[in-house]
Amino acid sequence: MKLACCLFNYFPFGGLQRDFFRIGEVCIKRGHTVDVYTMGWEGAAPTGMTIHLLPSKKWQNHQRIREFVEQLQPHLVAHRYDVVIGFNKMPGIDVYYAADTCFQAKARKRHGAWYRLTPRYRQLVAYEKAVFTKQARTNILFLSPDAEAEFHRFYQTPSSRCHLLPPGIAMDRKTPLHAHSVRQCKRQELHLSENEFLFMMVGSGFKTKGLDRILRGFAALPEEIQQRSQLAIVGQDDAKPFKRQALRLKIAHKITFLGGRKDVPALLLAADALLHPAYNENTGTVLLEAVIAGLPVLTTDVCGYADYILKSDTGLVLPSPFRQTEFNQAMIAMVSSPNRKNWQQNGRAFAETANIYSMPERAVDFIESFGRTIA
């Protein structure tokens, strides 16, 4: 089949982008032609994937998105693709991979009625409606039942167009046989002694992932724990405001910003706890990546995959509404809890039995089925 994949921007360290990349690879392996339309691309592309750049010179993000979509439509008409897959919400797509949360729900939670009068809100909601309303024809690939329920609450999307995928964790996140030596080498690279406790956050989008909460929690650690602890931040985002926050909290000497990394599996083995107190999160793939690496997790219940942490007993999940004092106490528990070894062992057992690896294949199964239906 001749497929078009559409996303606003690609960079190697975003969760949505990584999912797109893996789905695209499966499409190519199955013999399909894959054209990609995007405003910007960083890094290498898989062999067999053709990248079409449609850049925008607009200043504001919603204006850039609108210009991209306007440029995109003639290409889709001219090439007559069998299936058009969107990885961001936009009109003109056949299948939407729902990696993002509901924009309207988030906007109403964060802003007052005045925000709904802004051009940004009106445009992004219009693109969301183009995918989710009863009148739309787009099929949606959901990653969690909670996300499906939230979109249905706002748009009453027919269930016949909604399809739930399993998680798609890469197999290289599982604990390898030589995990101990990997841990030692990576900790040496990070200049950590064996007695130091390494907290880690992984994720591009520091504000959404709750890095401000993490910094406040680290600053509140008892002196004895703080002295023998370090915090590593992995992800591609603007670190300046958080470095300033760390300076104000007098913990900057304890914090290392590692940037976007390709060695995340090894970093997870080097760490002692993953922190992910997100403000909102459709799934939270890194939660499962940490679990199967044997790394205990501290997260919030707004993450779509938080239930996996509870069911597998591999860490702590804080209930909503978020309370900083509860998070601070939970950080202490991640260091001192007698359950630490159980969390690690439970994670490795979970890795061997859970159905959490097949998302790219199941997504392509649906794309192929849909393409045959409309052919």
Rounded CA gap, 47 and 21, in Å? Answer: 12
End-to-end CA distance of the chain: 10
131: exposed, middle or buried (C-beta count within 10 Å: 0-12, 13-18, 19+)?
A: buried
Instruction: Flag whether pLDDT at 120 surpasses 90.
Output: yes
- φ, ψ for residue 200 (rounded to 5)? -140, 140
Instruction: Flag whether pLDDT at 375 surpasses 80.
Output: no
**Are residues 130 and 187 located together in one domain of the fold?**
no
**Are residues 312 and 195 located together in one domain of the fold?**
yes
Coil, strand or helix: which one is 157? coil
**Are residues 37 and 181 located together in one domain of the fold?**
no
Residues 6+ positions from 330 with CB-CB distance below 8 Å: 298, 316, 318
- Tens of pLDDT, residue by residue over 168-179, are 998 888 888 899
**Are residues 349 and 362 located together in one domain of the fold?**
no
**Are residues 120 and 55 located together in one domain of the fold?**
yes
Residues 6+ positions from 294 with CB-CB distance below 8 Å: 175, 179, 269, 344, 345, 347, 348
- Tens of pLDDT, residue by residue over 229-280, are 999 999 999 999 999 999 999 999 999 999 999 999 999 999 999 999 999 9
Cis peptide bond upstream of 241, omega within 30:
no
pLDDT of residue 134: 95
Instruction: Flag whether pLDDT at 315 surpasses 90.
Output: yes
Q: What number of helices (H) and strands (E) belong to the chain?
A: 16, 15
**Are residues 191 and 115 located together in one domain of the fold?**
no
Share of the chain above pLDDT 70, in %: 100
pLDDT of residue 329: 98
- Tens of pLDDT, residue by residue over 22-80, are 999 999 999 999 999 999 999 888 889 999 999 998 999 999 999 999 999 999 999 99
**Are residues 311 and 363 located together in one domain of the fold?**
no
Share of the chain above pLDDT 90, in %: 93
- Confidence at 194, pLDDT banded by 50, 70, 90: confident
**Are residues 183 and 309 located together in one domain of the fold?**
yes
Higher-confidence position of 13 and 316: 316
- Tens of pLDDT, residue by residue over 332-344, are 999 999 999 999 9
**Are residues 17 and 95 located together in one domain of the fold?**
yes
pLDDT of residue 327: 98
- Total tally of structural domains belonging to the chain: 2
Rounded CA gap, 109 and 112, in Å? Answer: 8
Bridge partners (DSSP) of residue 10 are 41
- Confidence at 126, pLDDT banded by 50, 70, 90: very high
Q: What is the mean pLDDT of residues 218-233?
A: 97
**Are residues 125 and 233 located together in one domain of the fold?**
no
Structural domain of 111 = 2-166+358-374
**Are residues 50 and 193 located together in one domain of the fold?**
no
Residues 6+ positions from 88 with CB-CB distance below 8 Å: 6, 7, 8, 16, 65, 100
Q: What is the mean pLDDT of residues 308-337?
A: 97
CA-wise closest residue to 335 among 298, 288, 284: 298
**Are residues 129 and 191 located together in one domain of the fold?**
no
Q: What is the mean pLDDT of residues 95-116?
A: 94
pLDDT of residue 44: 87
- Confidence at 374, pLDDT banded by 50, 70, 90: confident
Cut 0.85: pTM above it: yes
Domain CATH code at residue 30 = 3.40.50.2000
